[in-house]
Amino acid sequence: MTVEASVTIPGETFSRVALTRSAVGLLDKLWLLHGPLMFHQSGGCCDGSSPMCYPAGEFITAEADVLLGVLDISAGTPGADPRPIEFWMSREQFEYWRHTHLTVDVVPGRGSGFSVEAPEGKRFLIRSRLMD
């Protein structure tokens, strides 16, 4: 089971981002600890395959970023209040990855830098596949 993101790029009709069940489980826990969350995927020096998860609004986005989708971690829970998580990517990185679908998963290990999962002994990881 995966949770697919809503479509946010004008003119597109397909989701670009999804969450695995494991990712949703960790995000549920992190939401309770930190409140609303967001992801940013950069192409910078700090493990470019690991999306960084921040409290919503803590990482400032701008014209140099693309909103790839909004993921609702309450999807599949009847009666639950929506818990949207925006997934952003640097525009420069998007130029390289524009033909891929990204799935956020969780693996054992320490999260990157300032990403909120760092103390949990797990880290988020991107699994990508070419889109049809």
Q: Which pLDDT value is given to residue 44?
A: 58
Structure tokens of 102?
Answer: 């990204």
Tokens of 131: 């889109």
pLDDT at 10: 94
Report the chain's C-alpha Rg in angstroms: 14
Per-residue pLDDT of the chain (132 residues; tens, 9 = 90+): 789 999 999 999 999 999 999 999 999 999 999 999 999 997 655 545 689 999 999 999 999 999 999 999 998 778 889 999 999 999 999 999 999 999 999 999 876 678 999 889 999 999 999 997
What's this model's pTM, rounded to 2 decimal places? 0.92
Contact yes or no for 16/9 (Cβ under 8 A): yes
Q: Tell me the fold of 2-130.
A: Hypothetical Protein Aq_1857; Chain: A; (2.60.300)
- Which sequence spans correspond to the domains of the chain? 2-130
